[in-house]
Structure 1
């Protein structure tokens, strides 16, 4: 994979199963979160295994052990970086003890993300949770999405979630898997296509189901086109990412960012901006043949049709299954 210029990452979490070889060692060291007695690990259940302990990242020795293990994976197997899952304190009992006393239990989440970031200084780290961790140069993934069209953790929610992430200070937003988490099944081709399109001009794209597995020529063609579109705007994304370090501005922005007194722009939750001049209006409705789009004031170039449109209006935009409407502000 390295010969093909592909980086390799591993999925990592903070749990140590009770049947893992490391469990007795960590327990004897007191390097896992303890139950209320402070005498034994606080066991938790999670989504892939028996009961488990949770590494105590407030203990410098435990954190260093964790980093050493990750470094061993990198040096022994050529692993480039890691995808860090979990970190939510709701996996722990309501009362627990740790090496450090926390005023707020979410501090453990902050420590986990901070230690995760230290494992790879090339900034390829992905985390799924954060608590006052806006300072970390990491990709922050949305919570798992469902393979549905709805605003309730389905396709429509990737726009609203991405906008909220940016506004609260997490600009390097990583949408969840394209198509949602039913990646073990064959997805509805229309849903998969619209998901690829919606994700194409967000900061990052992440496939789980390979497009060619859909066994659908249109899916494959749209996927190829959208990956090329993402690549076309890669320099813009990187430039906005660099800017966010000093400005705190999100990469993915709501329409009201450039039109704060426009009452209509304040209500639009199914479009977004990349920077101040690239407006994206993905098709998020099933079997849609038109897409109602709002363009804030200014002059906009329709990148699909190549014509200039005056803003400050709604337009009813015809769409085929292959279309992702997007516009560049020219004035």
Structure 2
């Protein structure tokens, strides 16, 4: 802890010096010549080379390579990125290099870059690059009305302009409603003017968002790469998609990752783990995974980190345990950490194999922190990465299904630790923010190599831009177990999602502290969790995080919502598909619908869950209604069916059994019956819900389906995409088209479909299904019977076997 505080103090001092005297560290670069090559536009300057490269039509990389300035590789971009050809035009002393979507204007006297979209400058260097001894970075102009999101995990409000923030991944134990520094910093911003700007640098530093100078955005670092990336598409969605196409799309997770987890700090014995899983089964709770914290390799919190082998006294038959869990549809996930204690069973092996970060004398760098005296695995060294992977590989041979990487900031990282990259050595301060990224990379790439058909599951606390392409599933860290811990979770998730980390989630119920069980707070968090990417209650063990250990009311409400989570799996899995193919996060900000609405840009409680749902978690006790910031359009209460006119803030009634969940008129939501485990998932029995309203003329939806585990499903085309279209003819008739495209092994040849048209007008009494025509019956039909009936909520339900493209008319 002391070393972490010392590192922070050094960063604060460095930041003060830069903020106070940047003019002394600025350099004026003189243009000398340029050359257009297959590698981009190469500009020779008085200090070295400037390279401009397009990775997508609206994504450009800017890389200054001043002579004598040490550079590190880009972690944001893939090692061998695909480049895009761009055109060059010279107008006097100005170069224009770009595509139809984005142009870089290169002024040569003095050398300055600005960026244009549709002929208008949206971003411009102010001083541009500065390099002075151990300080380097960039300065950009800010416009007076510009708002800035980004910088990663912070609790500051959505607009971060006016803050000066450390770029140093650091744990914040027990945070609540304020935090300037947390587990996962991102050296980048998203502007209200629709561009993404990312400092491509892994070193310790700062981002100054108009704090020191109101009209200047400044990135700075103590070392590292002097490059940045600009993305600017036609919309915020397009900007994110193009950035992710350049940096790397997140791969599909295994489908079971969307299920319910049993998780705590921690299960101390095999019998305790078995009893917990059985309790879920006995109480009728779905369950897809159990997460084992550090007691799987040692009986105590301190002294055993680095063993990374089963403690056979506590877990005498781990392979049988894992196999038995598998029979129940429950996958086993193990925690691992990058620290190797000198007291661990593997210490001598780690020293002998030379897999640890070194001190300045070339020996393993050891230091003290909470868990004991330790070294740190040098994940940047290829041989060390391979050694570390062999431990994972051996455990996977025993049946382990997924990995939880903890403390990967790293939580303690001495500044004088030396790491060995293929390109040469680097100090901790040079690559600190890329440590978790490189850790995820080694697990992902070797998993793909050794288990090429199986999707990895890699949950980690810290990373860097680009980590999403290695399947990283991050969470928001050790949040306080309180209402104040619950309040910032939407903000944290949205900020991370906007940089491609769509599986960001929280420890449901809160992790840290708490002396007594607050049933209402816990229930509200569990309800919110249904509309988070990962459903994982997790906490310190003195209050059980699992719902099965609580009172009857808490169990009943939690069970109902977890069952809803499972019912929504077709919809949620389709969101995962959209995230992997289009970059669309699962949790989406309101300003995506109305980008010019400043109220929506600042919104940190109401959010979109995909296209269909508007969700606002309840974060205060004892309320009878809750405010929802609803975009324009008609919205229906998912639970009560009440219709609301959007474009305003709504007061939605709630009980302990409900939170505000609204469905947008015209939405299609596919659902299934609840399951004990997603091992039994199938869309053969499918509900397709449609929310009708006269104001919606046309709408569409989709469902993605595959086998749930094959890593190359998307690349191989081994999936089916079901498409739904609705056309409302002035409320006299609703035409619905159901389209099937693609196939995969095990795909249902036919689906027993139940189309539920909510808010169907009372005068609709007939359904045309292909050549069949039948009247709407007043009572439910028998299962498997073809026909239509009106349920107690007034919805028309059409039942039939769906085998091929189908047209329906309701009138």
For the criterion TM > 0.5, the same-fold answer is yes
Give SS of 1:52's match: strand
Q: Check if 1:92 corresponds to 2:429.
A: no
* 8 A Cα contact 1:35 1:42, kept in partner: yes
Match in the other structure for 1:129: 462
What is the rounded CA distance, in whole Å, between the counterparts of 1:207 and 1:46 in structure 2? Answer: 27
Equivalences for residues 113-192 of structure 1 within 5 A: 113-118=440-445, 120=447, 121-132=454-465, 133-150=467-484, 154-173=485-504, 175-182=505-512, 186-192=516-522
Cα distance change on mapping 1:172 and 1:228 into 2, 3 Å: same
TM-score of the pair, normalised by structure 2: 0.39
Match in the other structure for 1:211: 547
For residues 60-103 of structure 1, what are the alpha-carbon distances to aligned partners after superposition, in whole Å with 9 as ceiling and x for unaligned?
A: 1111111111111222x322221111211351101211122245
Match in the other structure for 1:41: 364
What is the rounded CA distance, in whole Å, between the counterparts of 2:531 and 2:411 in structure 1? Answer: 33
For residues 288-329 of structure 1, what are the alpha-carbon distances to aligned partners after superposition, in whole Å with 9 as ceiling and x for unaligned?
A: 222111211011111121132211111222221111211111
Give SS of 2:395's match: helix
What is the rounded CA distance, in whole Å, between the counterparts of 1:308 and 1:180 in structure 2? Answer: 33
* 8 A Cα contact 2:436 2:463, kept in partner: yes
What is the rounded CA distance, in whole Å, between the counterparts of 1:318 and 1:301 in structure 2? Answer: 13
Matched residues, number: 323
What is the rounded CA distance, in whole Å, between the counterparts of 1:218 and 1:183 in structure 2? Answer: 23
Cα distance change on mapping 1:185 and 1:115 into 2, 3 Å: farther
Q: 1:82 aligns with which of 390, 394, 403?
A: 403
What is the rounded CA distance, in whole Å, between the counterparts of 2:446 and 2:403 in structure 1? Answer: 8
What is the rounded CA distance, in whole Å, between the counterparts of 1:290 and 1:323 in structure 2? Answer: 10
Runs of at least 5 residues in structure 1 that lack an aligned partner in the other structure = none
For residues 14-55 of structure 1, what are the alpha-carbon distances to aligned partners after superposition, in whole Å with 9 as ceiling and x for unaligned?
A: 1111111211121133210112222x22224444x2111111
What is the rounded CA distance, in whole Å, between the counterparts of 2:366 and 2:561 in structure 1? Answer: 44
* 8 A Cα contact 1:81 1:125, kept in partner: yes
Deviation, structure 1 residue 184: 8.7
Give SS of 1:91's match: coil
* 8 A Cα contact 1:240 1:275, kept in partner: yes
* Structure holding more helix per residue: 1
What is the rounded CA distance, in whole Å, between the counterparts of 1:313 and 1:279 in structure 2? Answer: 13
* Structure holding more strand per residue: 2
Q: 1:20 aligns with which of 344, 350, 375?
A: 344
* 8 A Cα contact 1:171 1:251, kept in partner: yes
Q: Check if 1:273 corresponds to 2:608.
A: yes
* 8 A Cα contact 1:179 1:187, kept in partner: no
Root-mean-square deviation (CA, aligned residues, Å) is 1.9
What is the rounded CA distance, in whole Å, between the counterparts of 2:369 and 2:446 in structure 1? Answer: 23
What is the rounded CA distance, in whole Å, between the counterparts of 1:260 and 1:232 in structure 2? Answer: 32
What is the rounded CA distance, in whole Å, between the counterparts of 2:340 and 2:446 in structure 1? Answer: 18
TM-score of the pair, normalised by structure 1: 0.92
For residues 239-285 of structure 1, what are the alpha-carbon distances to aligned partners after superposition, in whole Å with 9 as ceiling and x for unaligned?
A: 12222223222110111111212233223211111112210011111
Give SS of 2:418's match: coil
Match in the other structure for 1:199: 529
Match in the other structure for 1:4: 328
